[in-house]
Amino acid sequence: MLGYTWRRLLGTLPILLGVTVLLFLLLQLLPGDPARLLTGDRTPSAQTITNLQERLEVTGPLYVQYIDYLGDLARGNLGASYQTQQPVIDIIGQTLPNSLRLAVLAFVIELAVAIPAGVIAAVKRDSLFDRFSFLLTTVIIALPVFLLGLFFQLLFGIRLRWLPVAGLGDGSFQYHLMPALVLGLMAAAYLARVVRSAMLDALSEDYILAARANGLPARRIIFLHALKNALPPVLALAGLHFGFLIGSSIAVETVFSWPGLGRRLYNAILYRDRPLIVGVTLTMSFLFMLVNLIVDLMQAWLNPRVRLANRGRIDV
């Protein structure tokens, strides 16, 4: 298992390298010289542009810039933001914890809502609960994130005054709750459906019928036998979701003025802020792969066939 983990971790390196190459090339293709973009609505003099290009270190051919970047990267230097001149590592250090805390909390909410809801909907198939939860998840999936966010802000922030409307405030828990709820519920709506269908599949298996025939208590059948077998696809999706929760919550971060990675990335793209774009994307990619690895390890733990396949290379 340890060897497998190491192999996987090492395997992320070429992927991360690929990410940097891709980003360098893609950013080159985008119209707009970063030096020119920095000067706002003014038309800068040629000298100003030259000075800026030297400050940004975007002179010379792209491959030289790329090699320089890799050299810096190897020394742990991600460079400085074009826009604010702040070291990228500092920016990530400031925003990543905010994004991570939000993602973890949203993830907990997602699981806490989706698994019970999906299980109940499957067990009590076609009941009122099942139909209601189908309707509700459809609405949430169809609803744009910012609308749900706005609705929550109006309800909990302005009308009821239970929670602060936006921002990180002093960083206390109450500021996290609303954005995490929105993120968590959006993700839960998808996951609940997967849980439901995986549970339905599991419940229709022969071994469940056998367990029922043997007179095992219903609770034991549902939670031990059915749920454990329904979990692998659920876990796979939840893992993907966690990656999504870290990185793609730009809409939520914007609605709630959350100082996270997503918003920084969005701003960086507008300004072709290459060091920041590459740095943030690298971080996100690495986290995403890490989460996937953890999910795979959990899959292996849940499903001996995966574990064995990786150990002895036995085809299953």
- Token pair, residue 117, equals 């809801």
- Alpha helices in 57-127, H assignment, sequence order: 62-74, 88-123
- The answer to the question of residue 257 lying near other proteins (CB under 8 A) is yes
Tracing tokens 């995966």 back to the chain, one arrives at: 306
Contact 233, 130 (CB under 8 A): no
- Paired strand residues for 80: 87
**Nearer Cβ to other proteins (91/300):** 91
- The single residue among 77, 87, 134, 286 that binds other proteins, judged by CB under 8 A, is 87
CA distance 61 to 66: 9
Least spacing, CB of residue 7 vs other proteins, in Å: 38
- The single residue among 2, 3, 10, 30 that binds other proteins, judged by CB under 8 A, is 30
Binding pattern to other proteins, positions 91-130, x when CB under 8 A? x--xx-----------------------------------
Binding pattern to other proteins, positions 266-285, x when CB under 8 A? -x--x-x-------------
41, with CB counted inside 10 A (0-12, 13-18, 19+), is exposed
Of 5-13, 136-144, 181-189, 264-272, the window that binds other proteins (rule: CB under 8 A) is 264-272
Binding to other proteins in span 207-236, by CB under 8 A: none
Contact 301, 228 (CB under 8 A): no
- Paired strand residues for 87: 80
Contact 221, 227 (CB under 8 A): no
Footprint of other proteins (CB under 8 A)? 30-32, 36-45, 47-48, 51-52, 54-55, 83-87, 91, 94-95, 150, 153-154, 157-158, 161, 164-168, 254-257, 259, 263-264, 267, 270, 272
